[in-house]
Amino acid sequence: MRFTSETSSDGVTQQLFILDQIPGVLWTPEGATGTHPLVLMGHGGGQHKLAPDIVAGAYRFVVECGFAVAAVDVPGHGDRPTDPEYDRIATENAARIDAGEEVAPLVASFQALVARQTVPEWRRVLDALQQLEHVGTGPVGYWGVCLGCGLGVPFVAAEPRVRAAVLGLGGALASAEPAARITVPVEFLLQWDDERVPRSAGLALYDAFASTEKTLHANPGKHAETPAFELDSTLRFFARHLA
Amino acid sequence: MRFTSETSSDGVTQQLFILDQIPGVLWTPEGATGTHPLVLMGHGGGQHKLAPDIVAGAYRFVVECGFAVAAVDVPGHGDRPTDPEYDRIATENAARIDAGEEVAPLVASFQALVARQTVPEWRRVLDALQQLEHVGTGPVGYWGVCLGCGLGVPFVAAEPRVRAAVLGLGGALASAEPAARITVPVEFLLQWDDERVPRSAGLALYDAFASTEKTLHANPGKHAETPAFELDSTLRFFARHLA
């Protein structure tokens, strides 16, 4: 893990890093030493590790909860090069959608393919982060919606260090199978009028989690219209399970 | 409004009252003077104004939010005499259920009948409470699940003084029509494995509210198993909308 930049503002230190050619970012309380709970955040499709919702959430987790927070770019996103194989599939999928094929199964199989790469990547990043003196091996949480849910569900299912997860804006077709292997507390966000994930698919994904503590938070509005107060709830959820 | 008892503990003053033969209870911060936000709480079926969940919620609203809180007995419940007409219908319904009739439509029509009495009763109680020097005409909230939802939905729909409501454990058959007239913020509780309210009926009731801000909180478990952390969320919801 090689750090390439370190800046601080508002009591938060932001360090950019590269691990095995994976670009990432770590936020910690300024001057932090010793072990801290760590929240890994997965960005959305077409976004990257420094997208506004990631940064906004990360700052609040650090400032209000005293957590460490990290995010990395998904292959083909942010500072990573485009991946010819993924590009070829994306182009093929676009043509199949134009020809009238259903979108959801194509997205689901594409996310499953990418997850086969990101799950081991994220586990290696977690290994490296936990070796840092100012992160350590404290409790770990995961936050991710949209693509961050599609890739997050198989990650949380595979990674026993994750103790609690906030997921959402994803459907059962992509994620029900790994969801059924998740037993940690889950807060699941669903947009009641989501134009990209059918309501029934979102409800079915919530249903699929094996967790005894799982809360569905549904709100009116489209895919990108999750109300701001849900971030308040997310903070309290992680504070309850990681602090 | 005639007060029949006044006691205080843990910083909370509890006053029992009777208004037009309706027995009720008012909780306020000890020594309170002047206007306070007021939360009306509707108890569940077979319960009463001093049922444990009502008292527990009321104390937290008073202590943590500084609100006034009131609850009254529903006809045929608590300190109120049994009502021969309601008893006759309940007995008839029991026989019809034994004979194989569906439960939900019978409960729905019975709750609609009782609501025709309780809506004007609760509005008169609200009138009287708001004339008290230590309550006044501040913002009003409503909390009620189960029967407290069945009677609460038509009350909130009819009463413009109510600015926010926590409802739940009820279904669309009983409440969809008045729910479609509710436009204030709603937090709606649903138990995913409710043995009394079918999941689809609960989801349909959430769907029916006309409110632009409405949040569905679903959790695993049966009708009576709403997790304790939902009361924390209820407090924050009312604090946001009434304080």
ipTM: 0.83
Percent residues over pLDDT 70 in chain A: 100
- Residue A184 confidence (pLDDT) above 90: yes
Q: Which whole-number Å values give the CA distances from B105 to A85, B45, B109, B168, B182, in the listed order?
A: 57, 16, 6, 18, 22
**What's the token pair of residue B119?**
């809506």
DSSP-based three-state secondary structure for B178: helix
Phi-psi category of A74—alpha, beta or left, where left has phi over 0 and alpha has psi -120 to 50? beta
What's the pLDDT score for residue A207? 98
| A204: closest CA of chain B, how far (Å) | 12
Q: If you average pLDDT over residues B73-93, what whole number do you get?
A: 92
Which one of A184, A189, A217, A226 would you mutate to disrupt binding with B, by most B Cβ within 10 Å of its Cβ?
A: A217
Q: Which pLDDT belongs to residue B103?
A: 84
Residue B104 lies in a domain: no
Per-residue model confidence (pLDDT) at position B240: 96
Answer whether A216 sits within 8 Å of B240, measured CB to CB: no
- A9-12: long-range pairs with CB below 8 Å, 24+: A10/A59, A10/A63, A11/A62, A11/A63, A12/A58, A12/A59, A12/A62, A12/A63
What's the gap in Å between the CA of A73 and the closest CA on chain B? Answer: 31
Phi, psi angles (nearest 5°) of residue A45: -65, 135
The reply to whether B140 falls in a domain is yes
CATH code for position B152: 3.40.50.1820
Number of helices and strands (H, E) in chain A?
8, 9
Residues of B with CB under 8 A from a CB of A: 190, 192, 203, 206-207, 211-220, 227, 229, 232-233, 236, 240
- Interface A–B counts its CB contacts (< 8 A) at 44
Whether A146 and A167 have beta carbons less than 8 Å apart is answered as no
Instruction: Please indicate, yes or no, if residue B201 is contained in any of the structural domains.
Output: yes
Residues of A at the B interface, defined by Cβ within 8 angstroms: 192, 203, 206-207, 211-220, 227, 229, 232-233, 236, 240
Count of domains for chain A: 1
Interface test with A, best of B182, B189, B215 (most A CBs within 10 A): B215
What value does the mean pLDDT take over residues B97-126?
93
- Dihedral sign of CA atoms B238, B241, B242, B243 in order: positive
Question: Do the beta carbons of residue B128 and residue B3 sit within 8 Å?
Answer: no
pLDDT band of B104, cuts 50, 70, 90: confident
What is the spatial distance between Cα B243 and Cα B33, in angstroms, rounded to a whole number?
A: 16
d(CA B16, CA B72): 10
- Nearest C-alpha of chain A: how many angstroms from B14? 31
Q: What is the DSSP letter of B35?
A: -
Measure A212 CA to nearest chain B CA, in Å. Answer: 7
What is the reported pLDDT for A5? 95
Q: Do B212 and A220 touch (CB under 8 A)?
A: yes
Half-sphere exposure of A218 (CA within 13 A, CB side): 25
Q: How far A203 CA sits from the closest chain B CA (Å)?
A: 10
Contacts of residue B130, Cβ cutoff 8 Å, sequence gap at least 6 = B38, B136, B137, B161
Partner-chain residue, chosen from A216, A229, A236, that has the shortest CB–CB distance to B216: A216
Q: Domain limits at A203?
A: 2-242
Strands (E), chain A: 2-9, 12-19, 22-29, 38-42, 68-72, 140-145, 162-168, 186-191, 214-219
Q: What's the pLDDT at B168?
A: 98
B78-98 average pLDDT score = 91
At B152, is the pLDDT very low, low, confident or very high (cuts 50, 70, 90)?
A: very high
One-letter amino acid of B158: A
CB contact under 8 A, A219 and B216: yes
Flag if B216 and A213 touch (Cβ within 8 Å).
no
Note whether B217 contacts A217, CB cutoff 8 Å: yes
Q: What are the phi and psi torsion angles at B82 (to 5°)?
A: -65, 150
- Candidates B25, B20, B34; CA nearest to B3 is B25
Taking alpha carbons only, the member of B111, B117, B11 closest to residue B66 is B11
Query: How far from A143 is each of A38, A41, A149, A228, CA to CA, in Å?
Result: 11, 5, 8, 15
